[in-house]
Structure 1
């Protein structure tokens, strides 16, 4: 009875404690979660910027192993000569070497090691860079190397979903089994093919000959194995790309929200449209300045362009006006088209504040406007006499 009560309490605790909830939805595929649409270019770019790309680790590992081992084999004579010289130097000068002198360690340890490993390290680095570049191209992503403290204490269910109870986990297990089989078969058949020679050398030849034969056999096994692993790793490349595309899939609602985010809020769009319309109207207005008769200015801040057509209007009409930067543009256009500019601070301010574009000048300002037009005609007549 006590054990039954204990288990009942335990199940009740697990049922109410979210940390023990085993949600099967965590192990659902993209289709089961409703993510059936291909990823948009925006999401692909965002994923790439965050360092999430379709990168196979098996292919670079196999290529690095093959090229690095090939470098060791090619430079084995060079490395052997360096080590031989070091040992010869040490034995010949053993009684004269001063171990307290730091240059001794540099000469007999540091420098030979650097000379020996520079070719190997260089090939390993270049092969790693190229094998990754062939898959994803070049992209520097600081976010990918940014410390993430969530990885220190990972979500157990998320880890199980990604690494164990998933297609990726099963495929990784299958890859490991196949790799072991490849290594075992290559080793077995390589040794079996030369077993008789191996036994004969072990019985009749010297230790050096036996050692050379064993080394050549190891080289043969490593080369055959790594070549087969490179070929096999192409399946991992295809799987990683398929899995990445599956993980990148989106729900229809996500695409709609992304589209809305990219397009922007409707109110913002309307405001931008109004700004664009205002800009276009300003451009159209500035185009009318060249047709004006006179421009009333407040030296730096205001400019109002007037035009009078006696056949249509009873008074001059405001065809353009502006403040600050726009005023400077109006004055610049007027100057380019030899339009008379009349400087009158109160008149310019009043016209700008009270008269809209395409409206006629009010009667109370006729006196000032007449003066402006009179000075404009006099200026034109003077230019005509000079000409």
Structure 2
């Protein structure tokens, strides 16, 4: 009941990450009927195309052994080994193709469903798998009823096949055996082929239905609640609160680094109170001024305070301060559109320096 309520709360489709994680842990939709279909198909091909020749070869070997014993001299151990080797090759000629076909079709059906992968979780012992209560719960779950239905379907199909095939062929095979005993093998071969064809059709249909059901059930089990979707989004994209704190810390760090550069400025351009831009220009070191710091309101006032503490000239030019604050980034050279306005301030700065030097003389 708890599982049903939990499943009802899963209203969201599974994310790609959840399906990928499930695949990495070996949780994949696999049809248990596909191996039966592959085995039946392999046996049908073997029975029709390979078995007659193999049986004929083995039959001829045994016939020669019985009818011509003088050709098989068994006087030493080597002769015995030679006889068994010959019989072994005859058996291999009959059974070898069957083994190869079963292996080939078994691998093909497995690869057709999913590529092979080694998953440690699938072979790690888990106590819940040994739980009696858990086992009973699985027996009476939806999957348990589905597996029971498939088994019942296979039993019914086999019974119907046996009834239909034998009902039409029984008396014909009996008459053939009485008239010509050698024909009985041909009749039996026809009956077996007919049964195999019907079994192939039934198992193929069951495999397709089972594969569709397995995929549907797998998808339903991976569905997520809204909270799970939110939690996964936080894990993949990052918690918005944490990211906001990180961005705030980064801004604070950048602001502290910027304010530490203010004492290196050669001039401050202000609004006068709302904006402040700290520039550094040394004619022998650079071709154009560089913005070391900029700020608005409280940060602008802090830049002015640092400038006053370090005796850095402050020039009031509201239009220039607003424009540079909006268009020039910190640690960037000012664009050419500001050359003329800044050059006038630089001239005023040099003129003031020259006047101060003359006063000192």
Considering the TM-score relative to the shorter chain, is it more than 0.5?
A: yes
> For the superposition of Structure 1 and Structure 2, which TM-score range results when normalised by the shorter chain?
0.5 to 0.7
How far has the Cα of 1:81 moved from its partner? 3.7
Q: Given the alignment of the two structures, is residue 129 of structure 1 paired with residue 104 of structure 2, yes or no?
A: no
Instruction: State whether residues 97 and 104 of structure 1, in contact with CA within 8 Å, keep that contact through their aligned partners in structure 2.
Output: no
Report what 1:226 is aligned to: 200
Residue in structure 2 matched with residue 349 of structure 1 by the alignment: none
* Matched residue, 1:299: none
Question: Displacement of 1:66 after TM fit?
Answer: 2.0
Encode CA deviations 1:44-73: one digit per residue, 9 max, x unaligned. Answer: 011111111111111331132123222232
Larger Rg computed on CA atoms:
2
Q: Deviations over 1:348-374 (max 9, x none)?
A: xxxxxxxx978xxxxxxxxxxxxxxxx
Structure 1 residue aligned with 2:179: 205
Q: Structure 1 residues 47 and 227 mapped into 2: Cα distance closer, same or farther (>3 Å)? A: same
State the shift of 1:262 in Å.
1.6
TM-score (norm 2): 0.61
1-side partners of 2:88 and 2:54: how far apart?
14
Q: Measure, in 1, the Cα distance between the counterparts of 2:74 and 2:237.
A: 80
In the superposition, relative to structure 1, how do residues 72 and 198 fare at CA in structure 2: closer, same or farther (>3 Å)?
Answer: closer
Corresponding position: 1:176 with 2:151: yes
* Residue in structure 2 matching 1:51, options 26, 37, 50: 26
> Any idea what the Cα deviations from partners look like across 1:311-355, whole Å, max 9, x if unmatched?
999x99899xxxxxxxxxxxxxxxxxxxxxxxxxxxxxxxxxxxx
Deviation of 1:142 (Å): 1.2
Unaligned runs of 5+ in 1: 1-23, 279-305, 320-355, 359-387
Name the CA shift for 1:210/1:60 in 2 (closer, same or farther; >3 Å): same
Residue 211 (structure 2) aligns with = 237
State yes or no: 1:147 paired with 2:129. no
What's the CA shift for 1:107? 1.9
Gaps in structure 2 of 5+ consecutive residues:
254-279, 293-329, 333-361
In the TM superposition, what are the counterparts of 1:3-152 in structure 2 within 5 Å?
24-26=1-3, 28=4, 31-32=7-8, 34-87=9-62, 90-91=65-66, 92=69, 93-96=71-74, 98-99=76-77, 104=82, 107-136=85-114, 138=115, 140-143=116-119, 147-150=123-126
TM-score by length of 1: 0.57
